[in-house]
Chain A
Amino acid sequence: MNILIFSLILLGGAYLAGLLGSLTGLGGGVVVIPLLTLVFHVDIRYAIGAALLASIANSSGAATAYIKEGITNVRLGMFLEIATTAGAVGGALIAVFTPVNTIAILFGVVLIFSALMTIRKKSEHAEQTGSKLSYLLKLNGSYPTPAGEVSYKLKNVGGGFSIMLLAGVLSGLLGIGSGALKVLAMDGAMRIPFKVSTTTSNFMIGVTAAASAVVYLQRGYIDPGIAFPVVLGVLGGAFTGARLLTIMNPKTLRIIFCIAISFVALEMIYNGLHYQF
């Protein structure tokens, strides 16, 4: 196969990954890693490098629209980025000493967890009493809903911060945005309305991924021949996905995709256990 054909196939595959990632809410980066490793037999380290870039592009591209709507809680994002960036740098440093098969197994587990997270019930409940720390750090806010502006308060800031640290480590180790874990920290532990959680999580992914990507770039994980089709493809796919989401609500589709992606994750785990990376 020559480079031209390889690049075009990869571009098409990355486009589908971006589309799938956007429709399921998993993010394109997470879908592109199994595509590269299982289908194209690319070493998982190159796959991680490319996926991180795709996550940054997706996050930054989508953030503009969310910020415009006024849903993103910028202060909260900034505060939690202390945890995610510190974790991400740590994760990228551990990655060098972690066998690739272990990374593949861990990736599979996180992917299944993420898929489960996207199909579970979402709570749009806004707490009216916050913890002391939430006032001290000025984290409480409000967001627009069809029924008007709704204000919300935060609980369990420490718990949320700890989960964010873990999310950062996994992001740095596996090269993903770990959006699912970020959302878990925000709407699970801190009781923030789901919509605010997802948009703020998306806002944070770019910075988190950049923190570990600079380490990966210097380590030589980012290959230009893989990077350009993956970034352009995933970005294009995510853009189409965002458009599609405004005209349809792919609830059933989302469940089907999430089940499918879980099988892919199982294959990653299986191959990892049999040392095939």
Chain B
Amino acid sequence: MKLGRKLLGDRDIELFIGQVLRVGVVTASSIALLGGIAYLAQQGAASVPDYSQFTGEGAGYTSFRGIFRGVAIGNATEIIQLGVLVLLATPILRIFFSLAAFAVERDRLYVVITTIVLGIILVSMFGGLKI
């Protein structure tokens, strides 16, 4: 990544983005697998909750704070949700990298387009919903 040589080629950036996606998925599924094994070890013998009735999950599973608190004390279900968070973060991270890549290429049009996409996702994340 030496500046001055001819910045980063389009192709290098695309390949890098591909790597980001792969690493994200592998990390997320490894965390989910670990959490899943711990979950089965802790609660495997209990009977299955009634999934035919939708009750919605509590704050422990649906907010950053709740998930991290659970992970800190080693709760298996929250570890799985952490894997879910990493999985959700992967494509969002990809957009960040695309944005940086277009900025490096001084492609103003695509910097704007990518910012719009990122904006939509961030609004849906933080748009007055519980965090």
Contact = CB atoms under 8 A, between A and B. Distances in A.
Interface of A: 1-4, 6-7, 40-43, 45-46, 53, 56-57, 59-61, 63-65, 67-68, 70, 72, 74-75, 78-79, 81-82, 85-86, 89, 92, 137-138, 206-207, 209-215, 217-229, 231-232, 235
Interface of B: 11, 14-15, 17-19, 21-22, 24-25, 28-29, 32-33, 35-36, 39-40, 43-49, 51-58, 61-63, 76-78, 80-81, 83-85, 87-88, 90-92, 94-95, 98, 107, 109-110, 113-114, 116-117, 120-121, 123-125, 129-131
Given A67-B17, A75-B110, A220-B62, A43 B33 contact: no
A56 B110 contact: no
Contact of B113 (A45, A57, A67, A79): A79
B48 A57 contact: no
B77 to A, nearest CB: 4
Nearest to B70: A224
Nearest to A228: B36
Nearest to B76: A224
B22 A222 contact: no
Given A7-B40, A41-B51, A228-B39, A138 B109 contact: yes
A70 B11 contact: yes
Contacts of B15: 67-68
Q: By CB atoms of chain A within 10 A, which of B40, B53, B117, B131 has the most?
A: B117
Given A3-B45, A3-B46, A224 B95 contact: no
B25 A89 contact: no
27 contacts: A2-B48, A3-B43, A3-B46, A46-B51, A61-B25, A67-B14, A67-B18, A70-B11, A70-B14, A74-B98, A75-B110, A82-B116, A85-B124, A89-B120, A92-B124, A138-B109, A206-B90, A211-B124, A214-B124, A215-B129, A218-B62, A218-B129, A222-B61, A224-B35, A224-B84, A231-B84, A232-B33
A119 B79 CA distance: 40
A210 B88 contact: yes
Contact of B117 (A40, A65, A70, A207): A207
Contact of B123 (A4, A89, A92, A219): A89
A60 B22 contact: yes
A85 B120 contact: yes
A217 B121 contact: no
A206 B88 CA distance: 9
